[in-house]
Amino acid sequence: MEKAEKKWRWGFHRWIVLALIILNVVAVNLYAPVQPHIQVAAENIITEPLFTLPVIGDFYLTNSLIATILMYIVIILIALAVRNSWKKNPVAPKGIAGVFEMLVDMIYNMTETTAGKYAAKVFPWFASIVIVLLFANLMKLIPGFESIGVLRHSEHGYEIQALGNGTWSTLLNKEAHNGGYTLVPFLRGVSTDLNFTTALALIAVVMIQVIGVQANGVRYFEKFINVRNIFKKPLFGVIDFIVGLLELISEFAKILSFTFRLFGNMFSGMVLLAVVGVMIPVFLPSGLMLFEVFIGVIQALVFGMLTMVFMAQATQGHGAEEEQK
Amino acid sequence: MEKLGFNLGFLLVQIIAFLITVVVLRAWVFIPLQGSLKKRSETIEKGLEDARIAAEARENAEKEAAEILAEAQASAAQVIRDAKEKAELAARDVKANVDAEIAKSRKDALVDIEHERERVLGEIRNNVASLAIAAAQKLVGEALDEKRQHELVAEFFSGIKDGKVSILEGSKVAGENAEVMSALPLTEDEQKIIKGEMLNRLGEKAEVAFNVDPNILGGLVVRVGDKVVDGSVAGQIQNLRSSLE
Amino acid sequence: MSGDIVMAAKMIGAGLAMIGALGGGIGVGLSVQGAVQGMARNPDTYGNLLSSMILGIAFSEAIAIYCLVIAFLMLFVV
């Protein structure tokens, strides 16, 4: 009896998918997707700067800034919910707290196996980066991101058509000959903004150094400016010194690497979705969406895990301890 | 840089926002969750410990049960063994009794058979004597009277001549136990004569046993102690054969 | 006219930049091969190998991603 019901359910889902595909075809024929204007920098929603600071310069309200603020508000609200849920039921948290607990447990175990006794110091950064990036990467897949915004005059714009009473309009896939419109979305994927990824990379690399100093004291910097052997064994000392300089460069390379790995993955995902969505608007973007979910989770884990591994490496002493062995 | 969207202000905003989030997450999520995780792992460990203790207790109980069972089995085996032994003992007793009875009855039967044999041989002796006399009469004619012939035959078998044991004359025998062997069973009169003669020679305390052995053909063989007086026909024939050779 | 030439150069440059993704692809394939062989020989190390493999993939994929970023810069920024 139950088996038959299950079979019926499967058929039900299949028909839902088929109906959605047909709806998709109809919708695409009614309003064809428009190639969005792709640019690396976040778009300004208001053309005038909000305020101008003396050193920093003009400050615009960009769409990724709105998305960032929204994301942090969501994260902090969820943290509050977890805290309340934990206070209510510390033994077996339910709902979102249970999910968070599972995640935190997993991340903590991972940290402990790699970082050992410095796990308590490394863990908050690792976990924060993973959680923030999970939200940042997955929020951009919510419908409405990068598709709802303000219209702006442009040289290579598209014609528009009013919807309803004229408050809302839609772009048409028809190039306007003189002065069409382009869309500036309200929300844009947080991690497709270089400022966000750079900020995270800077924090990660700075915290790697901080944890290294906490673990090894001032000796940590011997790793970079290695003059210990330069008088005892001149040749190898010089080589050590150069290796130390390379380490210093590699720290800056880490910033670049962190920044552009995350940005490249997310931005390429955005471009891919936009381009494929215009070219083959039916069915294929669904698969790409799933792939983007995967990529987003993997990149969040990779960013966090790399931070954690580098921090663990920084806690392990460099040359001095090796020589003592 | 402008086209990449880098902006120091945004960068600072992002950094500060992220740091705020880290602090908030640490305070609201990580520390409580780590605490609860630690507590839970402790609880789980305690539970495991309890389970281990319970398992140990169960193991002990099982061991005791096994011991009790083993004891019971051992005692049962003991009981069975005892019972078997007793049964075997009883069986052996019964068998021994039966064997003894069988032996006794066999001995009785043997004695009976011996008596019967002697009786039959005694009867045969008379017949043999009559037949021998009849045959001799046929051969020799009626030279001898029948009474004389009977006496001769009796003498042949018993070795008693004129109320005396002929073979014992002239021979010196001494000892306590005498054994007299004849070819056919002797009559009671003859036995009395021989016994009296033997007692005369050996003394009042001597014992005389009578045996029958047809192989000696006739006459008597007397064995006293380690001395044998051979008055048998077979012995005489043997003597004759050895002297002829 | 000159704008069209610049546009064509941008496209060609982006395409050329993506050649670098070759190395990243080879690197990802090699690391996955090594990890899967290790898992097949010793299934107990599955978890460790998986995390190491993802880290290695991230490193080698980063090269391809840099190429992609350069291509994007050529297409959309310059």
The answer to whether residues B9 and A42 touch, using CB atoms and an 8 Å cutoff, is no
Query: How confident is the model at residue A324, as a pLDDT?
Result: 42
Same domain, yes or no: A162 and A250 = no
Q: How far is B48 from chain C (nearest CA, A)?
A: 24
Note whether A260 contacts C65, CB cutoff 8 Å: yes
Is C5 at the interface with chain B, CB within 8 A? no
Chain C residues with CB under 8 Å of A299 CB are 58
Chain B residues with CB under 8 Å of A59 CB are 7, 9
Is C34 at the interface with chain A, CB within 8 A? no
Percentage with pLDDT > 90 across chain A: 14
Rg (CA), chain B: 58
The chains in contact with chain C, meaning 3 or more Cβ pairs closer than 8 Å, are: A, B
User: Please, which residues 3-32 of chain B have a Cβ atom closer than 8 Å to chain C?
Assistant: 3-4
Same domain, yes or no: A245 and A169 = no
Is C75 at the interface with chain B, CB within 8 A? no
SS3 A162: strand
Chain C residues with CB under 8 Å of A265 CB are 65
Query: How confident is the model at residue C28, as a pLDDT?
Result: 92
Query: How confident is the model at residue A198, as a pLDDT?
Result: 92
The answer to whether residues B158 and B212 touch, using CB atoms and an 8 Å cutoff, is no
Note whether B25 contacts A127, CB cutoff 8 Å: yes
State mean pLDDT over A86-110. 79
Please report the ipTM that was assigned to this predicted complex: 0.81
Query: How confident is the model at residue A5, as a pLDDT?
Result: 52
Pull the structure tokens for residue A270. Answer: 């955005």
Closest CB to A40 among B4, B36, B37: B4
Which residues span the domain enclosing A307?
Answer: 116-147+187-325
In chain B, where the domains are located: 134-244
Note whether B32 contacts A83, CB cutoff 8 Å: yes
Is C69 at the interface with chain A, CB within 8 A? yes
Q: Taking each helix axis from N to C terminus, what angle separates B8-25 and A194-216, rounded to the nearest 10 degrees? A: 60
Query: How confident is the model at residue B66, as a pLDDT?
Result: 93
Closest CB to B33 among A59, A91, A100: A100
Same domain, yes or no: A135 and A275 = yes
Q: How far apart are CA A283 and CA A113, in angstroms?
A: 42
Q: How far is C41 from chain A (nearest CA, A)?
A: 22
Query: How confident is the model at residue C15, as a pLDDT?
Result: 92
Residue A71 has pLDDT above 80, yes or no: yes
Better-predicted residue by pLDDT, A89 or A8: A89
Query: How confident is the model at residue A173, as a pLDDT?
Result: 73
Residue whose pair of structure tokens reads 């001549």 in the numeric block: B161
Chain C residues with CB under 8 Å of A261 CB are 58, 61-62, 65
Q: How far apart are CA C12 and CA C78, in angstroms?
A: 13
SS3 A224: coil
User: What is the CATH classification number for the domain harbouring C17?
Assistant: 1.20.20.10
Query: In which region does residue A61 sit, left (phi positive, over 0), alpha (psi from -120 to 50) or beta (all else)?
Result: beta
Q: How far is C29 from chain B (nearest CA, A)?
A: 32
Q: How far is B6 from chain C (nearest CA, A)?
A: 13
Q: Give domain status of residue A198, yes or no.
A: yes
Query: In which region does residue A62 sit, left (phi positive, over 0), alpha (psi from -120 to 50) or beta (all else)?
Result: beta
Note whether C58 contacts A110, CB cutoff 8 Å: no
Query: How confident is the model at residue A200, as a pLDDT?
Result: 93
Chain A residues with CB under 8 Å of B26 CB are 124, 128
C49 residue type, one letter: L
Q: Which of A271, A295, A308, A313 to mutate to test the interface with C (most CBs of C within 10 A)?
A: A271
C9-12 long-range contacts, CB within 8 A, separation 24+: C10/C74, C10/C75, C10/C78, C11/C75
Which residue of C lies nearest to A111 if distances are taken between CA atoms?
A: C51
Q: How far apart are CA B44 and CA A273, in angstroms?
A: 47
Query: How confident is the model at residue B69, as a pLDDT?
Result: 93
Query: How confident is the model at residue B28, as a pLDDT?
Result: 85
DSSP state of A95: T
Is C77 at the interface with chain B, CB within 8 A? yes
Same domain, yes or no: A298 and A274 = yes
Chain C residues with CB under 8 Å of A267 CB are 69, 72
Query: How confident is the model at residue A325, as a pLDDT?
Result: 37
Query: How confident is the model at residue A202, as a pLDDT?
Result: 93
Query: How confident is the model at residue B52, as a pLDDT?
Result: 92
Cite the DSSP H helix spans in B141-225.
146-158, 188-202
Note whether A267 contacts C73, CB cutoff 8 Å: no
Query: How confident is the model at residue A207, as a pLDDT?
Result: 93
Same domain, yes or no: A197 and A297 = yes
Chain A residues with CB under 8 Å of C55 CB are 302, 305-306, 309
Q: Give domain status of residue A212, yes or no.
A: yes
Which residue of B lies nearest to C73 if distances are taken between CA atoms?
A: B4
Residue A320 has pLDDT above 60, yes or no: no
Chain A residues with CB under 8 Å of B25 CB are 75, 79, 124, 127-128, 131
Closest CB to C69 among A38, A263, A299: A263
**What total of structural domains would you count in chain C?**
1
Q: What is the pLDDT of residues A244-299, one digit of tens each?
A: 888 888 888 889 889 988 998 888 888 888 888 888 888 888 889 999 999 899 88
Closest CB to C65 among A39, A261, A305: A261
A126-140, A171-185, A229-243, B75-89, range with the lowest pLDDT: A171-185
A2 pLDDT band (50/70/90 cuts)?
very low
Which residue of A lies nearest to B26 if distances are taken between CA atoms?
A: A124
As averages over each run of 10 residues, the pLDDT of chain B (245 residues) reads: 74 89 87 78 89 93 93 93 92 90 90 85 77 71 66 72 67 73 77 77 75 77 77 80 81
Is A110 at the interface with chain C, CB within 8 A? yes
Which DSSP string do the residues of B203-230 spell out, in sequence order?
A: -TT-EEEEEE-GGG-SEEEEEETTEEEE
Give the mean pLDDT of chain A: 82
Same domain, yes or no: A176 and A282 = no
Percentage with pLDDT > 90 across chain C: 40
Q: Give domain status of residue A140, yes or no.
A: yes
Which residue of C lies nearest to A266 if distances are taken between CA atoms?
A: C65
Chain C residues with CB under 8 Å of A257 CB are 62
**What total of structural domains would you count in chain A?**
2
Q: How far apart are CA B54 and CA A143, in angstroms?
A: 56
Same domain, yes or no: A236 and A156 = no
Q: What is the pLDDT of residues A20-29, one digit of tens each?
A: 889 988 988 8
Which residue of B lies nearest to A84 if distances are taken between CA atoms?
A: B28
Helices and strands counted in chain A (H then E): 8, 7
User: Please, which residues 111-150 of chain A have a Cβ atom closer than 8 Å to chain B?
Assistant: 123-125, 127-128, 131-132
Which residues span the domain enclosing C63?
Answer: 2-77
Query: How confident is the model at residue B138, as a pLDDT?
Result: 67
SS3 A62: strand
A42-56, A191-205, C19-33, range with the lowest pLDDT: A42-56
Which residue of B lies nearest to C77 if distances are taken between CA atoms?
A: B3
Residue C16 has pLDDT above 90, yes or no: yes
Is A108 at the interface with chain B, CB within 8 A? yes
